[in-house]
Every structure is written in C-alpha cells, then in structure tokens.
Structure 1
C-alpha cells in the first residue's frame, strides 16, 4: 500500500463521514498562511477526538500542544456551554494564531490558550489546584511525553482518558537501539504506563494523510 492509497482512503472517509467545515478549514488555512508546520491532526482524527470527548461526557479538557488550534476546536466543540478547555503552547506565534482561530470558531469563552513551556504550565495548574480534567490530549514534543503524562495523571481522576499522539514514529518505536530522542521519549512513556497500576492502556497503529503513525489511549483506573 502506498501513501497515495492512504491519502485516498482518508479523503473518502473524511468526505463521507466528516464533511467540509468552513471554520475548521479556515483554521488550517490561517495556520498555513502564518507559516505554521502542516502537522495538525487529520480531519478524521479530529473527529475521533471529538467523539471520544463526547462519549466521555467531558466537561474539562486539557491539551498539551496547541499549534494553530485545529484539534482544540474539535475538542472544545464537544464541551457543554459551561465546559472548559485549556491548551498549552510554547510558541508565541502559534499561540496567537490559535487564539484567533478559536475566536473565529466562537469558542473563546470556553477555550484558553496558555503560553509557556508545557512542563511549567502543567506545574502551574497543579499549584493552582486545578480541578481534574476528564480528557487529556498530549501532542507536543515527544521527548517530553513521559513528564507530560506523569503530570497529566496528577491532574486526572479515576475515569479520565489520556490520549498521546504520534507514538509509532514510522515504526521506529519498536527499535530498542534507536538514538532518536523522540523514539527514546516515546519508549520511556510506554515503560512508565506499563509500570503504573493506576492506568490501563493500549496503542493503535494508523496510516493516512499523516503517514504511518499511531496513538496511545489510556484510562486512569484509580
């Protein structure tokens, strides 16, 4: 199977089940115009995040890694009117694009973009005594994933879902001898999850417009 075939299948499912959305497409266009890298989740993956948040009945969502706010829009749209999404971004230019995109989507009242290093922002949430989040989506620098996951656990409750994106690394995650910092961070993440009895998790490989990758889905048990 080729990338061309994966693209065609993704396009079929996105056209058939996701459809076209001027707000979401506008967010991608605005991100591209601002020079952001084209690494936002695919439309069908964004819809999956949206459905998981709805199924979870999420009222509070935490996102680590905002980029231009595309996935934040998908997630925030699943919230009730009094819900809250906090999304963390290290790059000031990315954060500004995301804020504009969230405002254009009419979500500025439920979605907050916090600027700074994710580890610092997560620590600040802990110090603030932030109420537990119902769903956490981690899609930031991969070497930091073990720390982000550990901190997300401290901001969770029994039943919280934690989703970590880009864990397959083109298949290199299976190479225990890899010196790639992103692979090392990803393997450390899964060692951490496997050793923690509070968490039940699985990982799924995916192919599509984003190539060969996958995600890990974890549920906090207690």
Structure 2
C-alpha cells in the first residue's frame, strides 16, 4: 500500500458517499487561489466531523485553527439554526478568506471568527464565562496542543466531545527523542490526555489523501 492507493481510495469514498457540494468545492478553490497551505481536512474527514457534531447534538462548537474555514463549514452545517460556532485563527488573511467562504455557503451568521494568538483568544473567551461547548475541535499549531487541551477542558461540560487532528505525524510520535516541536507537543498532548482525570480518550491512525496521520478523540467525564 502506498500514497497513490490511499489517495485513490479516499477519492472513491468521497465520490461514493458524499454528494457533489459546490459550496465545499468553492471553499477549497478559494483557499488554493489565495495561496493558503493545503492542510484542510479531506472531504471524508470533514464529513466525519459533521456527523460527530450531529451525533453529539452540538449546539455550541469551538474550533481552534480556522485556516480558510473548510472544516468550519462542515461543523457549522451540523448546528441548529440557533447554534453557535466560535473559531480561532491567528492570521487575519486566513480569517478574511474563511469569512468569505462561510458567507458564500450561507452559514456565516452561525460563526464567530476571532483573530489573534489562540491562547490569548481562549483566555478572553474564558473570561466571558460562556456557556460550555458541546464539541471542540483542535487543529492549530501542534506545539501548543497541550495548552489547548487544558483550555478545552475549562470550556467544556461533562459529555463534551474533544477531537484533535494530526496526532500521528507519519508515526514519528513513537520516538521520544525527536526534537521536532510538533512531535514533542503531540506526545505531550497525548500523554496529558491519557492521564487527565476528567478525560476518557483514544487515538486512531489513518491513511488517505493527507498521508499517514490520525486523530485523538476524548469525552469529558463528570
């Protein structure tokens, strides 16, 4: 098995299980035309996020890492008409593109994009004493994932679902001596998740159009 086969299988799954969607295609095209890095979730992964949020019955979603809003769009579509999604993005350029994509898809009224360093935005959000979030998606800079996990727990309730993307890193997480800050941050995140008294979680390896990676999934306990 190799990358070509993984990509072909993902394409088959997408074509078989996901109906054509111009809003999603337009968002990816706009992101590419703007020169954003091609690190959006794959379409079948986006649909998984959407389904998990619906299964969760999420009314309030927090996303850390907006980029061009592709995953944001999948999550926003899972919300009821009075739901709310708060998404945090470092770069103003990315946030502007994301807003355009969300406007075009007709879901921007459900989404609050906050621009700036995510740790600052999380502290400000917590100070607002918001209603706890039902679903939290971590997909930003990996060295800060341990800190994002701490904030996710603070902003959650018993039963909140937390999902973190890109936690396998081509398998490099098994090397405790790897100096890459993305690997070190991911290992610290997984170890913190595993020992956290309020979290019950697991992680899954995946292959596909995005290569060899995986995600972690946890539920907040009482």
TM-score with structure 2 length normalisation?
0.99
Residue 66 of structure 2 corresponds to 66
Query: What is residue 189 of structure 2 aligned with on the other side?
Result: 189
Aligned to 2:31: 31
TM-score (norm 1): 0.99
Equivalent position of 1:166 in the other structure? 166
For residues 39 and 193 of structure 1, what CA distance do their matches in structure 2 show? 24
> In 2, Cα distance between the equivalents of 1:210 and 1:184?
21
User: How big is the alpha-carbon RMSD for the aligned residues of Structure 1 and Structure 2?
Assistant: 0.5
Match of residue 198 from structure 1? 198
1:137 has 2:137 as partner: yes
1:126 lines up with 2:126 in the alignment? yes
2: CA distance, partners of 1:21 / 1:111: 20
- CA offsets 1:186-205 (integer angstroms, 9 cap, x no match): 01001111121210000000
- Find the aligned partners of 1:197 and 1:64 in 2 and give their Cα distance: 23
Equivalent residue number for residue 81 of structure 2: 81
* Distance in structure 1 (CA, Å) of the matches to 2:200 and 2:27: 34
Q: Which runs of 5+ in 2 are unaligned?
A: none
Q: Which residue of 2 aligns with 1:5?
A: 5
Instruction: Output one character per residue of 1:167-200: Cα deviation in whole Å (capped at 9) or x when no partner.
Output: 0000001111111100000010011111212100
How far 1:19 moved relative to its partner?
2.4
Aligned counterpart, 1:22: 22
Give the ranges of 4+ consecutive aligned residues of structure 1 lying more than 4 Å apart after TM superposition.
Answer: none
* 1:109 match: secondary structure: helix
**Superposition map of 1:104-115 within 5 A:** 104-115=104-115
Distance 1:130 1:89 in 2: 19
Deviation at 1:82, TM superposition (A): 0.1
The match for 2:100 is 100
| Aligned counterparts of 2:86 and 2:61: Cα–Cα separation in 1 | 6
What CA distance in whole angstroms lies between the structure 2 residues aligned with 1:19 and 1:170?
30
Matching residue of 1:152: 152
Question: Residues 147-176 of structure 1, C-alpha deviation per residue, up to 9 Å, x if partnerless?
Answer: 011001000000000000000000001111
Q: Note the residue ranges of structure 1 that are not aligned, 5 or more in a row.
A: none
Between the aligned partners of 1:194 and 1:57, the Cα distance in structure 2 is 25
